[in-house]
Structure 1
Amino acid sequence: MSTRNRLAAVLFAGALAAWPQSDAVDPRSTLHITLPEDSPISVVSADWGESRATARGGAMVLDLRTSLSLRNSGQAKIRGVTLLVEAQDVTPGGKASVAVPSLDAGVGDVFPVRVDMRLMRPLQSGTGPLVTIKLDGVLFDDLSFYGPNELNSRRSMRAWEMEARRDRQYFKAILESRGPEGLREAFLSSVAALSSRPRMDVRFARGGRATNFEAEHELQFAFLRFPDSPVDPISGVARASGSEIRAPRIDVKNRSKRGVSYVEIGWILKDRNGRQFLAGSVPSSDGLDLAPGQTGKILESTSLRFSSASGRIVDIQGVTGYVSQVEFDNGEIWIPSRSSLNQSGLQGVAAPSPEEQRLTNIYVKKGLEAVIQELRKF
C-alpha cells in the first residue's frame, strides 16, 4: 500500500479520556482511509473534526464528522465517487456509504468529501482501526467505472450522471431560448417545488409482514407509462392496511431489443384526503434477467410501511407506479426524459435529481450569474 493512498488518523488516549465510558476504548485504535495502489483518487488531507467514539454497554457508537480532501490522480475527468465506510461488516449499523455525484474534477483537481454519519460496532479488545474508509467506485466522464462495486455504485452513479446531463441540457435550453430572465423563472420554480414538495419515509424489509391490526384490502396499482421506456409495467397488486403495503407484486415487460438486468419503480401514494406523496423508488432484485419481449415480476415477499417526514402515519388509499430507471445487461442506463416527466405530471411530485438540487442551491446562495457560469462548464 503506497503512502499517498493510505492515511491513518490516530485518536490519542488523551482525547478518548474525554468521551463517556472511554475506558472501554482502546487508545491505540485508528481511523484508516485505504485505497488501492492503482486508485484514480488519492488522499490530500483528512480532518476528523468533531468525530467521537462512545462506549455504551457492549457496543461502541461512532459519530463521524469528517472532511476529506481527495485528488483526481488518474488520467480522466471524474463525475462521481462512492466511499464505503465500515466499523463492522456484520453488525447492524456497522457500515454505510458516502456518494458524491455531479463532480467536475479534472486531472489533478482536489475536491471535498464530507462524512457525517453514526456507526456502531462491538467493543474492541485488541488493536486495529475503529473505522475503515474504502473506495467502492469512481465514475469518469465517459461513464467508464473503476472500483470493486460492492454497493452497486456503478449503477447509481451512472443514473445520477445521466440525470445530471438531462437536467443541465434542460436549463441550458431555457437560457438559449428565453434568456437569463427565463432561466431565473425556472430556478424560482425549482426553489418553490423543493420547499413545497411533501416527503415520505418508507421502511423496506423483504419477507416482512404487516404489523398493525387494521383490516387488509387488495390494492390495485395504477401506472404512468412513458412512450420511450424500455420496460412497461403491466399490472400490480398488493395487500394494504392503513399505512402498510404487504407482498406487492408488479408485472413488467421488456419492450426493448436488449436484455434488462435491473428495474426501479417509483411509487406515488395517495392518502384519504387525495394528497399525493412520493414514497421513493423501490428496486428489483439483483437477479432480474429479462430477455427482449420477456415478462417478469418484482417486489415479491416485501413489506413497506409509510409515514410522512413529520412522522404522521399515512392512510394509503391509492398507489401509482412508474418506471424510474432501467439497466441493460451491458451496464447502460435508461431514465425518463424531462418532457416525459412534465407531460405525466411527475415533475411536481417526483424528487429532483441531485444535479437540479445542486444547481438550485448555487442559485439560492450565489445568484443567477453563478448558475450561468456553472452551466457553461459543461
Structure 2
Amino acid sequence: MWSKAVSALLMAAAGLAAEDALKVNFPADSPVAVVSSGWGESRAAARGGALFVDLRTSLKLKNTSRLRLRGITLQVSSQEVAAGGKASVSVPSLDVYPGQEFPVKIDLRLLQPASSGASAIVLVQLDGALFEDLSFYGPNHLSSRRQLTAWELEARRDRQHFKQVLARNGEDGLRRAMTEILAQDLARPKLDIRLARAPAAFPNERPIEVAFLHQADLPVEAVGGTALASGNELRIPQLQFENRDRREVRSIEMGLIIRDAEGREFSAGALPAAVSMKAKAGGTVQPTTSLQLSRAQGAAVRIDSVSGFVQQVEFSNGDVWIPPSSFRDEARLSKLIPGSLEEQRLSDIYRRRGLSALLEELNKQ
C-alpha cells in the first residue's frame, strides 16, 4: 500500500493521474480489440532528471476477427521516446478463437524524462497480429510479421515432429524424447550475450576464421564473410549470400556458434539483417550489431573461431523460411542451441504437468 501511494505521489508530481498513466491505442479497424487495461502493479520512481517506469500490468484483449489468432506483438513506449523509452511484448503460440478474450502480461521497465507534462507516460500500440492462415495485420514497425511468422512455422514443425515421435514410438518414445530435451537444456553451456551498435573498429582487433555449416535445400546460401574479434568482443562487418530462390529476399537471420581458445563451443545467438536481394542473385549483408560474450559466471570468452548457419529467411512477399526439424541433430547442434519457443513450451508442460498434459496439448490442433 505504501509503495502504491509513493508511486501515485510521484506521478502526481509529474502532472499525471494513475488512470491516465497507461494509454492503449489500437486502430479502429484492428482485428484485436482492447477489453480492459489499467496501471495494475506498475510503479514510477524519480531518479535524477528522469522517471523510471516499472510497468507491471496485464491487458485483456479480444480476437474480433473470423480467424484463430496465433501471435501478437505490442509496442510499448514512454511518451517521449529516448534511450530506454521503447520496448515490445510478443506472445507466440496462441490459439485464440474468434470472439475469445485473452490476457497479455506486460512486465518491463521504461525511461521517461521527468519534464514531460502530458497525460500519459506509457503508450501501448499494436505492431502486429498473426492469424491461422498466416495473414498479418499491423504496421510492422518492429518486423513483427517476420518473427511471428517464423515462430508459428517453428511451432507447426515441432508439433508435427512430436506427433510423429508418438506415432512411431508410442508414449514411451515421446517420454524419452522429452526427457532428453530437458537434460540437454540443463547441460547446455550458457553465454551472457550483450549487443551493441558495432563500432568502426575494436582496439587490437584481429581477423578470425568464419565457416558456414552445411545445410541442404537452402533458399539462400552464405558464401563468404569476415569477422573481427578483440578479446571477448565480436563484430561481423560483412556477409555474402547467393539467393537460389525465385523470390526476392528481404531479410536474413544468421545463427552463430563460437569456439573459444580452449576449444569449447557455445551458441552466440543470431544476427538478423535487412537485405534486398533479387531472385537468383547475390547480395551483401552488413550487420550493425557487435557482440560481447562472457560465461554465466562472468568470465570473458576469448573468441577463436566463428561458425554460421542460415536460421531464417524472409522474402519480399512475406513468406518466411526456417530450417527443418532435423537440422539441429544433423549438424550436431542440439547440445549447443536451445530448441524453438514451442519446443520449450511443450517440454515445460511435460516437466510441470506430465505426459498426459502433453498429449492433451498435442491433440488440440
Using the size of structure 1 for normalisation, the TM-score is 0.90
Match for residue 70 of structure 1 among 58, 61, 82? 61
**Offset of residue 17 of structure 1:** 3.6
- Partners in 2 of 1:56 and 1:284 — Cα distance? 36
**Mapped pair 1:236 → 2:225:** yes
Which of 243, 248, 269 lines up with 1:254 in the alignment? 243
Aligned to 1:127: 118
Amino acid in the other structure paired with 1:299? Q
Query: SS of the residue aligned with 2:29?
Result: coil
Q: Does 1:363 align with 2:350?
A: yes
Match of 1:96 among 79, 87, 108: 87
Aligned to 2:263, what secondary structure does the other structure show? Answer: coil
Q: 2:167 aligns with which of 176, 190, 193?
A: 176
Determine the C-alpha separation between the residues in 2 that align with 1:127 and 1:301.
34
Aligned partners of 1:30 and 1:305: how far apart in 2?
A: 36
SS in 2 for 1:185: helix
> Alignment partner for residue 316 of structure 1, among 298, 303, 310?
303
Shift of 1:362: 0.9
Q: What are the residue-to-residue correspondences of 1:12-51 with 2, within 5 Å? A: 15-17=4-6, 24-28=13-17, 29-46=20-37, 48-51=39-42
Quick check: 2:312–2:321 contact (8 Å CA) kept in 1?
A: yes
The aligned amino acid for 2:271 is: V
Contact 1:199 1:279 in 2 (8 A): no
2:267: which partner in 1? 278
Hey, what's the Cα distance between the residues in 2 that align with 1:210 and 1:306?
17
CA separation in 2, counterparts of 1:301 and 1:131?
Answer: 29
Instruction: Name the TM-score, length of structure 2 as normaliser.
Output: 0.93
Determine the C-alpha separation between the residues in 1 that align with 2:6 and 2:126: 31
After superposition, give the CA deviation of every residue in 1:176-212 in whole Å (9 maximum; x if it has no partner).
Answer: 111111111111111112222223233333441455x
1:82 and 1:137 in contact (8 A); partners too:
yes
Shift of residue 300, structure 1, vs aligned partner:
5.0
Q: CA deviation at 1:283?
A: 1.1
- Work out which of the residue numbers 123, 132, 143 in structure 2 matches 1:152: 143
The amino acid of 1:93's aligned partner reads G
With over 3 angstroms needed to count, the CA separation of the structure-2 counterparts of 1:22 and 1:143, relative to structure 1, is closer
Aligned with 1:191 (options 155, 160, 182): 182
The CA deviation at 1:20 is: 8.2
State whether residues 242 and 314 of structure 1, in contact with CA within 8 Å, keep that contact through their aligned partners in structure 2: yes
Which residue does the alignment assign to 1:80? 71
Residues 245-295 of structure 1, C-alpha deviation per residue, up to 9 Å, x if partnerless?
23532111112222211111000111122221111110122xx11122322
> Is the partner of 1:172 in helix, strand or coil?
helix
Gaps of 5+ in 2: none
1:62-105 deviation per Cα after TM superposition (whole angstroms, max 9, x unaligned): 00111222221221100001011111453000010000000011
Aligned length: 363
Q: Kindly provide the amino acid, as one letter, of the partner of residue 280 in structure 1.
A: G
Deviates more, 1:89-98 or 1:317-326: 89-98
C-alpha distance 18-87 of structure 1, shift in aligned 2 (>3 A)? closer
Larger deviation, residues 55-64 vs 196-205 = 196-205
Distance 2:362 2:12 in 1: 53
Match of 2:93, SS state, is coil
Give the C-alpha shift of residue 311 in structure 1: 2.7
Q: Once the 2 structures are TM-superposed, how far is the Cα of residue 145 of structure 1 from its aligned partner?
A: 0.4
SS in 2 for 1:313: coil
Counterpart of 1:129 in 2: which secondary structure?
coil
After superposition, what is the alpha-carbon deviation per residue over 1:278-328, rounded to whole angstroms, capped at 9, x for unaligned?
11110122xx11122322221356533222344321111111100000011
Question: Closer, same or farther in 2 for the Cα pair 1:230/1:202, shift >3 Å?
Answer: same
Asked if the contact 1:209/1:303 (under 8 Å) is kept, the reply is no
